[in-house]
Chain A
């Protein structure tokens, strides 16, 4: 017993001693100091589609958190939904020489050449959620094909023994997210001859247009059994049309989104959405930070294989809905911790 006590005391003394020396000279475990210096005073730029909506606000909040902790600068350039303005801002950023540019692409082609040019200047490019045709150092985001696959399968399942008539509510047809998801949805439906797509329209991501289109489609085919909607904020309109037609619960509505409470969980709770496929923005924020930390710690010259951090999907229905299913914009900081 006494032996153990002595040993314990000795260990404590040693630890204390180590602690004391650590104060004089920062403790170096071989990689921590290296990583601090690699990130200190660096510049990371973020060019979203636009600031001010749930996805980009969430990512920016997450990236700011790590930037403050690690002492690098986060520059945000907001093109406010304009592809031209975005291209201009990326071009301007080249002369500012940030270490990384985080790009949220408006479509598959718009920035493709520009991103290659950015890379030639030795600036690393991290793409988020929407991937351009150009493959760059890193991608953080969703596998849209999987989302579409899942949504289509749910609708097929819900339509078993019913009319088999379904609708697809598209956003903007040139968006990569839209393009890939719809591809997946159609691939799944093609395997099921009983499924008949009676309405396949684009609402330009606008809830009011979605409402109009869905209302017309439901009037024409009141026996529609399922709708695949491509975005929560647009599908509030789709859901309103279903409710207005008195078909809530009869038409299976599947949507997808970033997990903001008002846009997703509240909609599932009220029965407006039968399911929502969530790509958690707070999780994506942490993944972005991991990718940024990784990229900043690479030497410029070393050859880097392109890598992706694919966001895991979470399917929320009335059955599994709970407090942790979604996040709130006002409390984003605490959700990120």
Chain B
């Protein structure tokens, strides 16, 4: 709370230029630039495709945001997503009824989330180490005991699953709708539900929150369970989107992209700051960049350069406009 007040004061001083606004401004500039120079960029169907392409990234980022706001981090997101959904596909392939397979896989994901939470809240292991180790454990165990091939295809005759990732309602692709739903629910939770408000308090100052009577430990468990739940939903969309789940995605840089979206959007890793709006802004910037560069057919290495330069520019702009000092930085900030 105190931090928010200070931040508000700083913002007023600096003309309200928070990192979120800087990123939003860059996104708008890029959008206008692409719309003016690239044919069909601003067409509605391309814009929907743009959001669709980053909807999974956005959902995972919303899950990550819940834990980061509560001064934690969840590095096991991708492993939970890939392992639970790949296992579900294998259960479906071996003839398990769909509702049983979904329930078992969902329970598995949430159980992992709960174990994460218990280890962090009650055993008091730092979130970074807990979730880093858990990611490796879940993926390793899953690949060893549950999943024999690393790419699991959607079994024939299970077309119902495609409703999560293919098709559209009123012209809006399903992944976009699910992304929006996840964002709205997570946003409402953070803003209006008691537990959601408590997450800010716990993230801003855990000791103070606890003294005030916030049930800190159960709250931490809840964060990781919710994050795992979002992972599972994102996994369903991913599997439905491309008719398969590639467990190898655990070895990719996806989890760093997720952290990037969260931090870029303006949710400080120190906790207690930001909201789902920041996630949306960060996701959109990445989406616009990716879409524009794909349309321009920019070579892969060049894409990395452009992406890196723009992200650095956003961070440099933030540091120049909102310099860190003893008052604005807090313990745990990196």
A residues adjacent to B (C-beta < 8 A): 50, 52-54, 57, 80-81, 170, 173, 198-202, 204, 206-208, 210-213, 215-217, 219-220, 233, 236-237, 239-240, 243-244, 262-263, 266, 272, 329
Contacts and interface: CB of A to CB of B under 8 A. Distances in A.
Nearest to B57: A208
Interface in B142-158: 143, 148-151, 153, 156
30 contacts: A52-B149, A54-B149, A80-B251, A81-B248, A173-B300, A173-B301, A199-B294, A199-B297, A201-B294, A201-B297, A201-B300, A202-B300, A204-B252, A206-B246, A206-B249, A206-B252, A207-B242, A208-B241, A208-B242, A208-B246, A210-B242, A212-B53, A212-B290, A216-B294, A217-B295, A219-B43, A220-B39, A239-B243, A263-B153, A272-B243
B101 interface: no
Specify the main secondary structure of chain A where it touches its partner: helix
B149 A53 contact: yes
A57 B153 contact: no
A207 B52 CA distance: 14
B58 to A, nearest CB: 13
A17 to B, nearest CB: 51
Contacts of A53: 149-151, 248
Given A53-B150, A206-B252, 6 more contacts: A50-B248, A53-B149, A206-B246, A212-B52, A240-B242, A263-B151
A329 B244 CA distance: 16
Contact of B295 (A170, A173, A216): A216
B116 to A, nearest CB: 23
Nearest to B297: A199
Contact of B46 (A198, A202, A216, A329): A216
Nearest to B293: A201
B125 to A, nearest CB: 25
A211 B153 contact: no
A176 B156 CA distance: 33
Q: Interface centre among A53, A208, A243, A263, by most B CB within 10 Å?
A: A208
A206 B290 CA distance: 15
B241 A211 contact: yes
B166 A243 contact: yes
B236 interface: no
Contacts of B242: 207-208, 210-211, 236-237, 240
B153 A198 contact: no
Interface string B229-267: 000000000100111101011011000000000000000
B49 interface: yes
Interface of B: 39-40, 43, 45-46, 49-50, 52-53, 56, 143, 148-151, 153, 156, 166-167, 173, 238, 241-244, 246, 248-249, 251-252, 290-291, 294-295, 297, 299-301
A50 B295 CA distance: 33
A266 B244 contact: no
A154 B247 CA distance: 32
B8 to A, nearest CB: 38
A236 B248 contact: no
Given A54-B149, A217-B294, A266 B156 contact: yes
A204 B252 CA distance: 9
A239 B242 CA distance: 8
Pairs A-B, 4 closest by C-beta atoms: A212-B53, A202-B300, A207-B242, A262-B153
Contacts of B244: 207, 233, 236
A219 B40 CA distance: 8
Nearest to B147: A52
Nearest to B139: A80
Contacts of A329: 148-149
B306 to A, nearest CB: 14
Nearest to B152: A262
A81 B151 CA distance: 14
A210 B53 CA distance: 10
Contact of B297 (A200, A206, A208): A200
A289 B86 CA distance: 32
Contacts of B52: 212, 215
Contact of B49 (A219, A236, A240): A219
A219 B42 CA distance: 11
